[in-house]
Structure 1
Amino acid sequence: MTDQQTGLNLVPHSVDLSRQGEAFILTSKTPLAPVVDRTADWLHHWAQKTPDQVFLAERSETGWREVTFKQALAAVRAIATSLRARNMGPETPIVILSGNSVNHALLSYGAQYAGVPTVPLAEQYALITDAHGRLTYVLDKVRPTMAYVEGAAAYASALALPQLRGVEIVATQTDGAPCKVTPFSSLLAGDDGQDADAILAATGPDTVAKILFTSGSSSDPKGVLTTQRMMCVNQSQMASVLPFLRDRAPRICDWLPWNHVFGGSHNTNMMLAHGGTLVIDDGKPTKDLFARSVRNIIERPGTLSFNVPVGFSMLVQEMESNLALREAYFGDLDLIFYAGASLPQDVWTRLEQMAMEVRGRLPLMISSWGMTETAPATLMVHEPIGRSGVVGVPLPATQIKLRPDDEMRCELRVKGPNVMTGYFEDQAKSAEAFDRDGYLITGDALRFVDPEDPNRGLVFDGRVSEDFKLSTGTWVQAGRLRLDALEALRGLVQDVMICGHDRDAIGLFIFPRPEQVQGDNTSAGAVFDPHLQSQIETRLSAMAKAASGSARRISRAIILAEPPSLKDSEITDKGSLNPRKIMIRRADLLDRLYDNEDPALIRV
């Protein structure tokens, strides 16, 4: 049906709710659209139907490098034959150390064509020497046969690691390599002695396409075995409830990293499944790189926009004064999609206002819930809702189990064809991941927007594992309280962490925005800045006055001088905090947080 507000072809929320003991079981009433067997099926389809449509594009020294569907298919088939000529298959993975690029995409799809798993890794693992520990852990785990980098010189320190001795190194730019390197062009040359059609026929829905490593916030990263079925069915699940994706070829200008399931499976495969164009944005929502994103969006705007909340916040701020960006961004926009955290409502509202000013109608503004283990989308908003924070209802063919506590906050468990069967070479963790009914135990908590109407959807309510008890025995729902604190301290902080396990009161570690800290008044890892401390005290005091009890009242805080350390695993490669690592490494600051005489302490 055509939605009057957005003008898009949408399927309204429609779910079935039943009970299984004390748990709720939630399923979608919408039927699942047909599912292809492999990503290559999409590539063959569009190479025949729209051969000259641009599939991949990236900025080059002379403008833009563009690859059409016809060209992509030829390159992918050539790469597949080159890999098979090397006797590569399911047991010979390829690690990809570089970030997003056209060649990265071609290699990934070429490997999928040949049934060779790829292991895309965060580029900082290889580029930052202090992060090599995580890289070597993965290399020891997967024992790759091939490794790919864009430029050998930039990745020289990683390529010299002993774990890569004897591994074939492939690079687009081979100069400056510390070892023998195969030019990427040699893979594109193909091998005439191999039959590409026969190579493809040997793959199917159960073929492992990728091994995606989780961020490992509480333990070593786990390798999620991502099959062709998981990725292909997930695109059909989303297309079943967002049929406008089939009405015209979508476009995205996207920076989200491909070592994560959001950028690397959700977004890339959405363009491939629907004959769309993926413009690789070489910028990021950071101080140093955001200007590149602005330039790319103005030159190559999308019909769909995917981002994390901080990215949308920076876009809104820039568009307040940059009319060219605003008109390019909203000019042909159908969808705004955020994930990773809740979008501040003021950012949501301003996006709506700007859309009306430029285009005279609203795009669909939505979010979803998913994780690496679910390929990723499992719940999704697919109708206009007018507010932030809702993650939607189950997608077709999935089952959602919700186990409520006394406050109707529900632990989430999921089942469906998009859910993994297990982790790479880890039977113990694979078994622990599922309950006796076969549901994946997610560790996340949700609650109904309206308990009387499940079609209104669900709201993310933190991580069950983040919860802790005060010494009084009172449970603290840390995930929800953290979001409240971030909202209260908006503009002053980059992030916060809730503390208080086995203490008598809730405390707060604060990672400030650097520009908010005046001078260099630090003391053994804490910031002493009377002006900033006063602002934080005022806001936390207002928050405390509205608190309903000790489980919601933050009574103390301390400003940390050092940002979260990637080297010491205080922050994951997704940019989220690792509370366990922070508390261990900064145990002295945790003690100071509960020292009433410490001058850096903010008392509320």
Structure 2
Amino acid sequence: MRTFAEPRVVAEQRPDGALLLRSAEPLGDHPAHLALSLRHWASAAPDAVLATDGTGSLTYGRAARDADAIGQALLDLGASRERPVMVLSGNSLAHLRITLACYTAGVPVVPVSAAYSLLSKDHGRLRAMAELVRPGVVFADDADAFGPALEATRAHAVTDLEPLAAAVPGASLAAAFDAITPDTVAKVLFTSGSTGTPKGVLNTHRMLTANQAMLRATWPFLVDEPPVLVDWLPWSHTFGGNHNVHLVLTNGGTFHVDTGRPAPALFERSITALTATRPTVYLNVPAGYAVLVPRLEADPAFARHFFSRLRLLFCAAAAMPTALWDRIRRLVDRHADHPIPLTAAWGATETAPAATSAHWADAPCGSIGVPLPGVTVKLVPVGGKREIRVAGPNVTPGYFDAPDRTAAAFDEDGFYRTGDAAALADPADPGRGLVFDGRIAEDFKLTTGSWVSTGALRTALVSAAGVLSDAVIAGHDRAEVTALAWLNPIEARVLCGKDHDVALDDQFLRDHLADVLASLGDGLGSASRITRLLLLADPPDLDAGEITDKGYVNQLAVLGRRAGAVERLYADPPDPDVITAAGSAR
């Protein structure tokens, strides 16, 4: 079975300057709601393993029985369409069981990043979320660790699912199941806050099942090859919780919960998980690949094991640096015994999430592909770029209890305004897809009047430096562009030949970054040249909205909160800690 369906795009240039793009392939049939997918596989393959998390396994048959029992118990506890179930703890079999129970009982589930419970100092955001959705039940799998967070929600707390799983499904569950329609809200997901305070995005069953039908149409091998995933991406975010979990559930696959993360203290867990199980599809964000790639390069046996039965490698949620993309390609060429395409896609929490996909083997870095079947993309001229707007069955009806925000999110034609920009890879051939062109709200003008494309500059800097985990671009109403950045400790050790963490004032590191700034800016205008760089010691702050649980930095929040660091970038004479393109300031 082929990996990809051939992309076929229909384009329509409108008189108002907007360009409409859609797939020539119609959207196929899909279930009315996700609980039907669970019951289908529970009947067709009851003993097949749906998920594991290192502590045990869950078959489809057991998952369906638990969903019925726990669903009944949730209804008995007061959960309803108006009083959802909030989940505070991270990815686990327990989290999956209560999610499937909510799908079965027609009750919205509200997964919240565990970081808001475990890392937050005041639980301010968690309280705000709970006040908005008014949960009937709140669940966490560790009463001690999540105790303060559970109290902050002021809702009925559950920390043990086993008493709920002993409930006997009755008439109320049957009635609730029968009342589920495609427009029933399955989930409320809070956005990451990259453009403001978090919003509760309504995810209907139609959105989620239609999105999986779109993926099956573009990845036809899923029909005959149930996917096997080893995945850490948080279920509080649409990539992990919608795209990946439902990819397994819809296609009768197996989800191995990776309890690690792409962070030095936790990444060994990911290596252990990937050593124990060979995935058939591997999905990650650039930050995850940035930590995995050095391990694959250093261990050929592990690389051969990792690639041995992969169908494809997939990246989304943020732009991957070109240098990292190229390293992955070289690893595949060196260690895989069969072709493994590396591909990307684009979407948002509001689009369930996939809206476009680069479903062809030679997609270049930066390509976000073409519209999925059933999706129409509208490219609208905005400030010298083209904003991506989306319509289709995968698009949200709006935000939880926020009519003003909902109205503002859609244009006069009913297209969702994403705030992201894209350009045609080949203006003469829309079939070659789109390339991501940054977030419109993050771009700014220098005092010269030149527009700065922050997304392109950030990607170029992180890619060329090779030792940065992330960066934000500064320069609004300034004469030149500068950057704040964080060091990737693993890559910095490799660069500097150290067996311990590298200090930010390490002269070899500073000289390397100074050379990078000089090479990036050689011959370019002020809007495309980063003149100064300041490395930050303290990581982005979750409570301050500087970072999201999916691993990317909120540029506007960082610049606002770290105004003092920005002033240091522009001090004259240069601050001694600031690295300049002409060489180290020290």
TM range (shorter): over 0.9
Where does residue 252 of structure 2 map in the other structure? 275
Q: Distance in 1 between matches of 2:289 and 2:40?
A: 34
Q: Distance in 1 between matches of 2:335 and 2:69?
A: 44
1:41 counterpart (21, 33, 36): 36
Over 3 Å counting, the alpha-carbon distance change for 1:131 and 1:389 in structure 2 is farther
Supply the AA of the counterpart residue of 2:76.
A
Where does residue 282 of structure 2 map in the other structure? 305
Q: Offset of 1:497 from its aligned partner?
A: 1.1
Over 3 Å counting, the alpha-carbon distance change for 1:57 and 1:230 in structure 2 is same
Please tell me whether residue 559 in structure 1 is matched to residue 566 in structure 2: no
Where does residue 581 of structure 1 map in the other structure? 557
Where does residue 503 of structure 1 map in the other structure? 478
Q: Offset of 1:78 from its aligned partner?
A: 0.9
Q: Deviations over 1:408-430 (max 9, x none)?
A: x4211111110001100111111
Q: Distance in 1 between matches of 2:452 and 2:561?
A: 22
Q: Deviations over 1:406-455 (max 9, x none)?
A: 96x42111111100011001111111101111111111011111111111
Q: Offset of 1:555 from its aligned partner?
A: 2.0
Q: Offset of 1:568 from its aligned partner?
A: 2.3
Please tell me whether residue 84 in structure 1 is matched to residue 72 in structure 2: no
Q: Distance in 2 between matches of 1:129 and 1:406?
A: 37
Contact 1:482 1:498 in 2 (8 A): yes
Q: Offset of 1:237 from its aligned partner?
A: 0.9
Where does residue 450 of structure 2 map in the other structure? 474
Q: Distance in 1 between matches of 2:486 and 2:253?
A: 40
Contact 1:352 1:362 in 2 (8 A): no
Over 3 Å counting, the alpha-carbon distance change for 1:343 and 1:558 in structure 2 is closer
Over 3 Å counting, the alpha-carbon distance change for 1:359 and 1:479 in structure 2 is closer
Task: Report matched runs for 1:244-283 at 5 Å.
Answer: 244-283=221-260
Contact 1:131 1:566 in 2 (8 A): no
Q: Distance in 1 between matches of 2:443 and 2:169?
A: 58
Q: Distance in 2 between matches of 1:334 and 1:41?
A: 27
Where does residue 349 of structure 2 map in the other structure? 372
Is the partner of 1:203 in helix, strand or coil? coil
Supply the AA of the counterpart residue of 1:58.
D
Where does residue 24 of structure 1 map in the other structure? 19
Over 3 Å counting, the alpha-carbon distance change for 1:294 and 1:19 in structure 2 is same
Q: Distance in 1 between matches of 2:145 and 2:390?
A: 41
Supply the AA of the counterpart residue of 1:39.
L
Supply the AA of the counterpart residue of 2:7.
H
Where does residue 177 of structure 1 map in the other structure? none
Q: Distance in 2 between matches of 1:530 and 1:368?
A: 39
Q: Offset of 1:344 from its aligned partner?
A: 3.6
Q: Distance in 1 between matches of 2:323 and 2:448?
A: 37
Identity %: 39
Supply the AA of the counterpart residue of 1:512.
L
Contact 2:9 2:22 in 1 (8 A): yes
Q: Distance in 2 between matches of 1:365 and 1:185?
A: 41
Where does residue 104 of structure 1 map in the other structure? 95
Over 3 Å counting, the alpha-carbon distance change for 1:450 and 1:592 in structure 2 is same
Over 3 Å counting, the alpha-carbon distance change for 1:344 and 1:473 in structure 2 is closer
Q: Offset of 1:316 from its aligned partner?
A: 2.3
Q: Offset of 1:118 from its aligned partner?
A: 1.0
Task: Report matched runs for 1:373-452 at 5 Å.
Answer: 373-404=350-381, 409-452=385-428
Over 3 Å counting, the alpha-carbon distance change for 1:494 and 1:447 in structure 2 is same
Where does residue 463 of structure 2 map in the other structure? 487
Over the residues paired in the alignment, what is the CA RMSD in angstroms?
2.0
Q: Deviations over 1:475-524 (max 9, x none)?
A: 11111111111122222x22211111111111111223457599xxxxxx
Between 1:446-455 and 1:549-558, the stretch displaced more is: 549-558
Over 3 Å counting, the alpha-carbon distance change for 1:124 and 1:228 in structure 2 is same
Where does residue 137 of structure 2 map in the other structure? 146
Q: Distance in 1 between matches of 2:252 and 2:485?
A: 45
Please tell me whether residue 168 in structure 1 is matched to residue 168 in structure 2: no
Q: Deviations over 1:65-93 (max 9, x none)?
A: 11111111111111121122334320111
Q: Deviations over 1:130-153 (max 9, x none)?
A: 261211111121111111011101
Contact 2:79 2:137 in 1 (8 A): no
1:361 counterpart (326, 338, 346): 338
Q: Offset of 1:570 from its aligned partner?
A: 2.0
Contact 1:33 1:239 in 2 (8 A): no
Where does residue 521 of structure 1 map in the other structure? none
Contact 2:259 2:269 in 1 (8 A): yes
Contact 1:564 1:577 in 2 (8 A): yes
Is the partner of 2:545 in helix, strand or coil? coil
Task: Report matched runs for 1:589-600 at 5 Å.
Answer: 589-597=565-573, 598-600=575-577
Please tell me whether residue 52 in structure 1 is matched to residue 47 in structure 2: yes
Task: Report matched runs for 1:117-132 at 5 Å.
Answer: 117-130=108-121, 132=123
Task: Report matched runs for 1:149-298 at 5 Å.
Answer: 149-161=140-152, 163-164=153-154, 167-172=155-160, 184-194=161-171, 196-298=173-275
Q: Offset of 1:191 from its aligned partner?
A: 2.9
Over 3 Å counting, the alpha-carbon distance change for 1:57 and 1:528 in structure 2 is closer
Structure 2: any 5+ residue segments left out of the alignment?
Answer: 497-502, 582-586
Contact 1:412 1:443 in 2 (8 A): yes
Where does residue 94 of structure 1 map in the other structure? 85
Over 3 Å counting, the alpha-carbon distance change for 1:514 and 1:366 in structure 2 is closer
Where does residue 512 of structure 1 map in the other structure? 487
Over 3 Å counting, the alpha-carbon distance change for 1:365 and 1:579 in structure 2 is closer
Contact 1:96 1:121 in 2 (8 A): yes
Q: Deviations over 1:580-604 (max 9, x none)?
A: 3222322222222111213233333
Please tell me whether residue 460 in structure 1 is matched to residue 436 in structure 2: yes
Q: Deviations over 1:238-285 (max 9, x none)?
A: 111211110121111111100000000111111111111111111111
Q: Distance in 1 between matches of 2:543 and 2:174?
A: 45
Contact 1:15 1:26 in 2 (8 A): yes
Q: Distance in 1 between matches of 2:229 and 2:127?
A: 33
Contact 1:96 1:149 in 2 (8 A): yes
Over 3 Å counting, the alpha-carbon distance change for 1:544 and 1:348 in structure 2 is closer
Contact 1:231 1:418 in 2 (8 A): yes
Q: Distance in 1 between matches of 2:447 and 2:37?
A: 56
Over 3 Å counting, the alpha-carbon distance change for 1:27 and 1:131 in structure 2 is farther
Over 3 Å counting, the alpha-carbon distance change for 1:349 and 1:386 in structure 2 is farther
Aligned residues: 570
Is the partner of 2:42 in helix, strand or coil? helix
Q: Offset of 1:557 from its aligned partner?
A: 2.4
Is the partner of 1:422 in helix, strand or coil? coil
Q: Distance in 2 between matches of 1:410 and 1:38?
A: 34
Q: Offset of 1:307 from its aligned partner?
A: 0.8
Where does residue 569 of structure 1 map in the other structure? 545
Contact 1:528 1:599 in 2 (8 A): no
Q: Distance in 2 between matches of 1:318 and 1:486?
A: 19
Q: Offset of 1:328 from its aligned partner?
A: 2.7
Q: Offset of 1:357 from its aligned partner?
A: 4.7
